[in-house]
Structures are given as structure tokens and as C-alpha cells.
Structure 1
Amino acid sequence: MRRGTYSIVARDRDTGELGVAVQSHWFSVGSIVSWALPGVGAVATQSIAEPAYGPRLLDRLGAGGAPRDALDDLLAADEQARFRQVAAVDAGGAIAVHTGKGCIPEAGHVEGDGFSVQANMMASPEVWPAMAEAFGAADGPLARRLLAALEAAEAAGGDVRGRQSAALLVVPASGQMWQKVADLRVEDHPEPLGELTRLLDLADAYGVATEGDDLVGEERHAEAAERYREASELAPESAELMFWAGLGIADAGDVDEGVGYVRRAIEVHAGWRELLARVDPEIAPGAVPVRKALGITMREP
């Protein structure tokens, strides 16, 4: 199957994070193209995609192999190599990329310092240079810089067929193989990059809320309340974040403000009122004063 796609693999020189981002006019592109492991590397495999390049390259990189040698070995054993487009970056920022001569035009790639951008079946040969320029000029976390590269590709013409799905995967510089900084997919959408941006905004909000949870565990309640407020401001339509922010703020001592957050969540969905009656104070101590203020009795298990 022919999958016209543009993607980027990169290492963040400051944090050591590794990531891959992709957009295509193909259903669920992230399940095929994007691969990454903490402290090992990131891979994009596309064109007439062979997903096995992802885990096989990561296995080689994890065993200490160089990206160029690992990719060349796999290509040499692949009878369809001329149709493949594959890129890899390792934990040190070394790059290897291949655009087979059989990839459907417009197709090409650009290697940069710790990153590679690659595309095939594009509307214009300006797509991948625009991606490289945008990534190099972007600031902020790696996930945002990867997204900037995708947006630049679309602005330069993108996939000749249009757009359908997108994905973003970022892993930490070290850690267990299951750990991720961001793992977002838009499987089928008329504006996949817009939806991917919305999901990344929401993921950032949940990340801030998790910081609040961690601070509660350290009994740093005032700092936790600030994180909860920030999370709710980042995603003001999320009843989930409203509810837990309210309990956290109440636990920090501002019961009136906390009740306001919880009441708004209940207005969005009545199930939050039922949940409030079930929450154990050991999980969320702020539930006790909020229940009292709203006249809700705790349900015994």
C-alpha cells in the first residue's frame, strides 16, 4: 500500500528527549510510522511502509549499533528497499535516513543537527525543506517543535492527496521502555494537525495537574493548588480538571473557590456529584469540606 507521508525524527539537545511526528492521508498513520524508546532512539518508517523497520532499528540502536550501519543492514536485506523511506535518530543525536528511488514524487529528505525530515507523495518539493527550517527556528519543548515542523509541511503544500491522520510520540532521555512524554494520535480527522494541537494542549494541562498530585503527596498543598488552577486554565472546558482542581484548591484552604470549581463540573455532568459522594478522603482530602458545603453525604463502600 502506498502511503504518502511527511514526518520528522529528532533529539532535543537540551533534554535528551527523542521524538517522531507524522501526518498523512492514510488512516491511523501513527500505528505504522512512529516508533521510539527512552534512551534508545526514534524511527519513522513510511512510503510503502514496512513497520518492522521500527522495532528492528530500535533493537539495533539499543544494542549499541550506529543508526547508519543498522539502517544499511536492514535495507540490504529488503527486496523492496527502493520503495522505502526510513529515518532514525539515536540517543546521541546521530541520524540515518533513506529515501528510495522508487518513492512516489515529490519525495526527499533533509538531515540536520540531531534531526531528519522526510516526505513522499508531496504536492511540492518545498515541503521537507520547510519542515527543516521550521524545526530549527522553533522554541520550546520538543513536542511543540515537532508540531511546528508538521505545520510548516502543510503550509508548503503537504500531501498531494490531502490529510487524514497524524501522530506525535516523544520519549524521555532515559527510563523504562513504557515511559513516554507524549503519545498522541489522530486516527481520522478532516484537520488532523489542528486536532493534534488540541490534544497536545490537553496533554499539557493533564501534565500540570499530575504535578499538583505529586505536590499533594509531598504535603505541599499551596503549591499543588496553584498547579491545579493552572491546569484548569489550560483546559477550561475539561470537567475532569475542574473537579480535581476544586478538591485540590479546597484542600489548600480556599474552600469557597474549590466549591466553585466542583459546582461547575457538576453543571457540566451530574456524575461528578455522585463521584464526590464516593471519594475517600485519603485519596482527596479536599472532598470533605466540599461535600459539607454542597450538602452531600459520603457514601460508604
Structure 2
Amino acid sequence: MTFSICVRERYTDDDGTDQCRFGVAVTTRLPGVGTLCPFVSPDGAVATQSLVNVELGRKGIEYLGDGLAVDDALEALLNADEGREQRQLHGVDADGTFAFSGEECHDWYGHTVGENFTVAGNLLTGEDVIDDTAAAYESAAHGDAPLAERLIDALAAGHAAGGDKREDLVVQSAALRVTNTEEGELADPYYNDLRVDATETPIADLRETFETATRGYEAVMERYADAYEEDDIDAAE
């Protein structure tokens, strides 16, 4: 089903410690893609699509947590999958990338791999969808905007290039998930795990959801930051 992007970004936190953030975003002309395709953890990001096998995503993230490299983990799962040639599977970990498109996926299908990201899609209007998604991310990589926002921008570029070709399917969905290697309750803002499950305007609605969640997060932090910092509910207003 349609197209997605997985991303790795290295950065230094406020204490000067090297960290890594991972993100995945996806959109399709079906409802509820956020329940099927995107998987993320502090160990990496994985997207499973085409004829979806959700276990490839779940076990892929589990294997990364066990210390396997992303290419070893995902290749091993595909080798054990009788439906391998109907799958698309791609992802990133702290050091590597992996992307696979089976020969039985439906046109247009394909993938691209960058230094810190992968993009894959099927049933698309053409290769431009993948190329424009990748280019939009690359042009804003490590920018000031949150990764969640930049992933939405990348999906928007692919959508503008044509996106999913099944125009008769008007009910669509989109989702994004972002996390990082930092510890603590405040390391993962609320706007980093968002889904729009059924709409005719998935990218616009995902962006609106992100903007609303960001305002909500900022309001919560303004009121309750001391309580979180002290781990004491009595410190809340």
C-alpha cells in the first residue's frame, strides 16, 4: 500500500550527549494505515507495505532491540516469509539502511535509499512520487523544524507528485511516528505519534493534527513542567 519514508538523524542533546532520533511516515488510499505500516523504537524505524505482513514490522523492531543490524534483521524475516515477493519492507537503524521491493508488487513500485533514510512505494502514479518524497526530506534534513513536521512535508511532496494512483478510493489515511534515544518522560513530545485514520485529505489533516498537538504539548509543558521535572504531582498547578 502506497508510500512511506524511514529516517535516522544524529544530534547532540542539551547535555552534550550524542543521541539519535528515528522517524517513519506513511500515507495510503485506505483507512487505518497507522495500525499496519509504521514501526519505530529507540533502535530504529521500519515500514511494511504492499501486501502487508504486520509481523515484519513488529518483529523487525524486536530484532533491532536484540542487537541485530537492520539489513540482517529484515532480510532474515523476508527469507522466512513465503509471501516475500508481494512485500515491500524498508527501514533504518543507528548505522545502516535496508529496502526491499518484491517482484510481485503492483506498478508503479520501487524504493530509494539515502545516507540516512529510505523511501518505498507501490501502486503509485510514477517514480516521481518516491523521488520527490526523498528530495523534500533531504532538502530539510537536520533543519530547525521537528522531524515530525518535516516528515509531513516529505509526504506532501510525494502526494503532490501524484501519490497513490487509485483515485476511485477516496477514503485515505496517514500516520507518523518519531522517537529517540533520550531518556525521561519529556524526551518524546506528544506530537511524535499521530494518525489520521479515515479522511479524503490525509496530508492536510495530518498537518492540522500535528499543529494542534504541538499547541497542546506547549500548553501542558507551560503548566506542568515542574511537576514532571520533580516527579511530584503536588508541584502541578
1:133 has 2:135 as partner: yes
Structure 1: stretches of 5+ with no match in the other structure: 220-280, 285-301
Map Cα deviations across residues 96-134 of structure 1 (whole Å, 9 max, x no partner): 111111110101111112110111000112110111100
Pick the structure with more helix per residue.
1
AA paired with 1:143? Answer: A
Aligned 1:62-73 pairs, distance under 5 A: 62-73=65-76
3-state DSSP of counterpart to 2:118: strand
8 Å CA contact retained: 2:223, 2:236: no
Q: TM-score, normalised by structure 1?
A: 0.68
Q: 2:203 aligns with which of 183, 193, 200?
A: 193
Using the alignment, how far apart are the partners of 2:4 and 2:228 within structure 1?
41
Aligned 1:1-301 pairs, distance under 5 A: 4-14=1-11, 16-37=20-41, 39-90=42-93, 92-138=94-140, 139=143, 140-162=145-167, 164-175=172-183, 180-181=188-189, 182-217=192-227, 284=237
Using the alignment, how far apart are the partners of 2:208 and 2:23 within structure 1?
18
Bigger radius of gyration: 1
What's the offset of the Cα at 1:208?
A: 1.1
What's the offset of the Cα at 1:174?
A: 3.6
Pick the structure with more strand per residue.
2
Structure 2: stretches of 5+ with no match in the other structure: 12-18
Map Cα deviations across residues 125-167 of structure 1 (whole Å, 9 max, x no partner): 2110111100001232211111111001111100001460000
What's the offset of the Cα at 1:93?
A: 4.2
In structure 2, relative to structure 1, the CA distance for the partners of 1:82 and 1:172 (3 Å cut) is same
Q: TM-score, normalised by structure 2?
A: 0.85
CA RMSD of aligned residues (A): 2.2
- Higher relative contact order structure (alpha carbons within 8 Å, sequence separation ≥ 6): 2
Using the alignment, how far apart are the partners of 1:124 and 1:210 within structure 2?
43
AA paired with 1:32? Answer: L
Using the alignment, how far apart are the partners of 1:189 and 1:93 within structure 2?
36
In structure 2, relative to structure 1, the CA distance for the partners of 1:198 and 1:72 (3 Å cut) is same
Using the alignment, how far apart are the partners of 1:107 and 1:165 within structure 2?
19
Using the alignment, how far apart are the partners of 1:126 and 1:207 within structure 2?
35
AA paired with 2:155? Answer: L
8 Å CA contact retained: 1:93, 1:115: no
- State the identity as a percent: 35
